[in-house]
Structure 1
Amino acid sequence: MKFSDINFNYTDAQEERIYAPELIDSAYVDINNITEEVLKPNKYLVHGPKGAGKSALASKLKFMSESQWDFFCDIDDMEEFEFNLLKKTSGISGEKVGGSVTVWKLLLYIRIISLYQDNIFLTDSGSTINALFSDLKKYGFLSSNSLLQVVQETSRKGLYSKFSTTIASFQGKAEKAADSKVKDPAELVEAIESALKELPEITSKHYLVIDGLDYLLRNGRGFSGYLADLIAAVRQVNNYFSELKNQSKVIVLFRDEVLALVPDPNLTKRINDNGIPLDWYDKEGKPFDSYLLQVIESRAQTAGFNKDIKYLWKEWFPVKIANKDSILFVLDSTRYLPRDLISFFRSLQALKKEPPFNDQDIFSALNSYSDWFASELSDALVGLVDENVRDSIEGIFSEIGPRFDTNDFKESLEEYGLDKEHAEKILHTLFNTSWIGNVWTKYDSPRYAWKHRRKKSVFSPRKKSVVHNGLLKSLSLR
């Protein structure tokens, strides 16, 4: 077995699920027993920064469902979801009672019910469930395998008058179908909920995982209200299933920065009551015992290494690099996230060498990694700052240096022809996405604040800003 045999090829969990499923099976790190935590009825909002492993969790749940007879799971990627179709789905006039919360509920119910088709214990259990399938299939709903397809189907002209037949069938009132005209999705939701009540007890788990909501930011923040309605709808749908003692559930994956944009006065309560945070930072000061280093250890063990990460690190790396423990030297170039650390190890493998690595090897790998890191953090700014600002950030930092005052940043924005009036707001965003931290002196020692180390950290424009170590080489600051 060789270091080059360890699979660090993928930082995207979807690609990993397709091309390296063995990593999902045997190398997944179950941080804080999240695969158990997410099974709790009240836990459905998984959140963390970009690269924290949200999609990896979705892949793991999907993989688990393939080997458990009583677990059915599907993933909906919202990258291409057409949010503008929600208005068309809202009823004949576009904006009806309940708004997009009701529309989301309709879409979610249809998608969950589509999962029931794979459960032979349900399909063989009697006529009630089969009648429901038959009614929904009649108009093509159960042929849809994503929320995008469902919303496209339900937004078609004239569908509501057709769906009235389905409602009548649910309610055993077929004779009224010809005269019924449905003007609001709320009636459809009520009909589906009534039908769900009549189903036999459902003890198998049926989970829909919603991923890819980050892509909403590509079109700006205009659709953030739809996300607030989505969270409200998921809560109502999940609560209804719980009331029925039905193990069905919708799980939503949110990036922290996107979640922060959601205009919901109850968001903090939702996060506290229903959220599961993905926080990989080692607060105990024992990196070799952390979940983050288990990511590397588990991949090494999958490749045949039978030692723990602490011993492997000693075999692979020098004890000190630049007068600092090598483990801290490397980790300080990351956001303490799996994607970052995997990317660094991929850069190490690109050297085409086997351990032990010397200082120069580490510097070479970090140089390559720094370019990837700059691109990754630039992607994290999409939709959060103006595109002209995003395109200029690297140039601005290269000129003002690794440590700077807020006024320095304002002046640089002005030199680039950008709006300096929003400088502090931009710096807050850069802080929240880990481009920068704060640094100050206390008791003759430097103190630092980083969002990726402490979630509650808040940027202070009165303190100096410091550029992340992982960016220094790419920005020619080292």
Structure 2
Amino acid sequence: MLVGDLFLGDIDGSEEFKTKENIENLYFMGVSQKNIDSLVTGKKRYVHGYKGTGKTSLLKLLENSCIERQIPFISLSYNKVREDAEIIDEFRRRFKVFSDVFEEENDKDTTTLTFWKWYLLSLIASKFIDNGFSQLIYNTKQSFFRAIASVLDMLVVTVDPNGAVSVGLRMQNIYSEEESESIVQAARNIRYLSNQISQKLNKKVVVFIDEVELTKARSTYGIDRTMIKNLILATKYINGITSNLHVLIALRDEVIHDLRGDEINKLMDNFGVKLSWWTNPRITVDHPLWRLMFKKIRYSMVGKENSDLMSDSQLWNRWFPFKIDGRDTWKFFFELTWARPRDFVRLLSLMKNKCEQEKSFTRSAYDSAIRAYSNSAYSEISEEISTLFDDSAMNKLQIIIQQLGLNFTSQEFYDEARIRNLSAPSVILDEIYRVGVVGNHFSGGNRKGQWRFFYRNDSVSDFTKAFEIHRALHDALGIKDTFRKSVFYSN
């Protein structure tokens, strides 16, 4: 059997887990059965974690669990709802006279909150209750929803010199009495729908909502921020209608970080299940991420080479070099990734492409794949922070990092930012720590030093300690400098 015969999975979980067999043979996650049950029954309502931690895959597992328990469900994509022409673009096209632009932030929240309540309740009623509610079901002829689309289209995002993000309107008008009445009517209809669902929904149903993420376009960042916040709050309302109805959302942690409001945080604390693959401090071949990959490899080897008799250690020796760059390979992978399934799948897939005809992964395959892996990882991170920083700031940031080299102090970063005329350097440094571009690496009284990274559950950067560029990004950022011991020991 050759490396090219291995199935390592897809970077996008929605593509990998399409059948019950795939899920049972390939899925492994450090989520207890108790949490699985809580997510299906409604005791838990939010799955959250950083990009690539397996949220979509977990939702596929939960859908499969619903099928086994004969629980009906609906699966929605926030992105598809957001982009659906019938929901957004068609509203704008048909709305001839725009008069419904709100002056207060609370009005925008009320509008989008009402939209989500009515939209979701309408879908639930049409799917699971008789046709007697057709006159209430969401449709594009309702001027209220056309008005919502127009309001959303007027939202803009601004970032001040200190990095603070605010949402405003392109213009302000006073909304008409007619539209005010439509909002009142919408509230009445929502109450009526809620009452009818409470009385007539006589079986357990679940609504899954995935792909809840902020847009990569700065021009529509404010729209998504408002939409997502009120989607979460709308589901809080809907989950309280009846114990037979349960809405579950998969959210990125960066979205929660961006919304960071007391009410959102309380919902995550009380009803959330966080996905994190980092285990500290001991990294071995038994780590859950390696066990996940072994499960994929075992699936590829069914009926071959007596794989069912192999231990994980034997499987490791069969496919992987013992060391890379003088370090145990299983540890080296953690130094080169952000400890997420997506990272492991991406790096191993690139290595696989470089040695398909070999009988095992080789060091030369790693050498050939690392640049592509680095570029891919940096591209993904750049997309994540591009909503906050424009192209000019991103270019300046890259120049500053290249100038500073492998490791640096916060003061050195501030000095370079001043030279390059980059505003709000402390905010930017904090953001690139949050997304994993840099971490703290300092002496801490021992030769090997101490590492702190956001993905390792060190949620706040230490500006008094030295910073270091994540190893995976060296090639993408052109980091060639040697490690500066003076910076390492300076704190």
Tell me which interval the TM-score lies in, with the shorter structure as reference length.
Answer: 0.7 to 0.9
| Aligned 1:294-309 pairs, distance under 5 A | 294-304=291-301, 305-306=307-308, 307-309=310-312
SS at match of 1:31: coil
Cα distance in 1 between the residues matched to 2:312 and 2:74 = 33
Which residue is equivalent to 2:261?
Answer: 264
| Aligned 1:116-155 pairs, distance under 5 A | 116=128, 129-130=129-130, 133-136=131-134, 141=138, 155=145
Cα distance in 2 between the residues matched to 1:45 and 1:283 = 25
Paired letter, 2:3:
F
Which residue is equivalent to 1:112?
Answer: 124
Aligned with 1:418 (options 418, 422, 429): 422
Report the CA distance shift for 1:61/1:383 in structure 2 as closer, same or farther (over 3 A).
same
Which residue is equivalent to 2:333?
Answer: 330
Cα distance in 1 between the residues matched to 2:143 and 2:207 = 22
Paired letter, 2:394:
R
Cα distance in 2 between the residues matched to 1:288 and 1:315 = 13
Q: CA deviation at 1:64?
A: 4.5
Cα distance in 2 between the residues matched to 1:228 and 1:281 = 28
Report the CA distance shift for 1:395/1:432 in structure 2 as closer, same or farther (over 3 A).
same
Report the CA distance shift for 1:467/1:414 in structure 2 as closer, same or farther (over 3 A).
same
Which residue is equivalent to 1:126?
Answer: none
Q: CA deviation at 1:5?
A: 2.0
Which residue is equivalent to 2:173?
Answer: none
| Aligned 1:270-285 pairs, distance under 5 A | 270-283=267-280, 285=282
Cα distance in 1 between the residues matched to 2:366 and 2:187 = 59
Report the CA distance shift for 1:297/1:386 in structure 2 as closer, same or farther (over 3 A).
same
Determine if the alignment matches structure 1 residue 102 to structure 2 residue 114: yes
Cα distance in 2 between the residues matched to 1:16 and 1:42 = 28
Asked whether the equivalents of residues 35 and 61 of structure 1 are also in contact (C-alpha less than 8 Å), the reply is yes
Q: CA deviation at 1:451?
A: 0.6
Q: CA deviation at 1:346?
A: 0.4
Which residue is equivalent to 2:353?
Answer: 350
Which residue is equivalent to 1:429?
Answer: 431
TM-score when normalising by structure 2: 0.76
SS at match of 2:476: coil
Task: State, as a whole percentage, how many aligned pairs show the same letter.
Answer: 21
Q: CA deviation at 1:74?
A: 1.2
Aligned with 2:451 (options 448, 464, 470): 448
| Aligned 1:330-409 pairs, distance under 5 A | 330-351=333-354, 352-409=356-413
Paired letter, 2:270:
D
Cα distance in 2 between the residues matched to 1:338 and 1:276 = 17
Q: Which runs of 5+ in 2 are unaligned?
A: 149-180, 302-306, 481-491
Determine if the alignment matches structure 1 residue 310 to structure 2 residue 300: no
For each residue in 1:91-134, what CA deviation from the matched residue of structure 2 results, as whole angstroms up to 9, or x when unmatched? 99566795432332222212233442xxxxxxxxxxxx42xx24
Q: CA deviation at 1:360?
A: 3.2
Cα distance in 2 between the residues matched to 1:369 and 1:287 = 23
Paired letter, 1:401:
G
For each residue in 1:234-268, what CA deviation from the matched residue of structure 2 results, as whole angstroms up to 9, or x when unmatched? 112112222xxx1x211112211111111522233
Q: Which runs of 5+ in 1 are unaligned?
A: 117-128, 145-149, 159-180
| Aligned 1:220-299 pairs, distance under 5 A | 220-221=221-222, 223-242=224-243, 246=244, 248-283=245-280, 285-299=282-296
Which residue is equivalent to 1:198?
Answer: 199
Cα distance in 1 between the residues matched to 2:479 and 2:408 = 12
Determine if the alignment matches structure 1 residue 462 to structure 2 residue 464: yes
Report the CA distance shift for 1:5/1:470 in structure 2 as closer, same or farther (over 3 A).
same
Q: CA deviation at 1:29?
A: 1.7
Cα distance in 1 between the residues matched to 2:246 and 2:361 = 48
For each residue in 1:118-166, what CA deviation from the matched residue of structure 2 results, as whole angstroms up to 9, or x when unmatched? xxxxxxxxxxx42xx2432x5764xx8xxxxx899961479xxxxxxxx
- State which drifts further: 342-351 or 314-323: 314-323
SS at match of 1:318: coil
Cα distance in 1 between the residues matched to 2:142 and 2:365 = 52
Paired letter, 2:240:
N
| Aligned 1:208-223 pairs, distance under 5 A | 208-215=208-215, 218=218, 219-221=220-222, 223=224
Cα distance in 1 between the residues matched to 2:464 and 2:436 = 18
Paired letter, 2:438:
I
What is the alpha-carbon root mean square deviation over aligned residues? 3.3
Q: CA deviation at 1:65?
A: 4.5
Paired letter, 1:310:
S
Paired letter, 1:443:
G
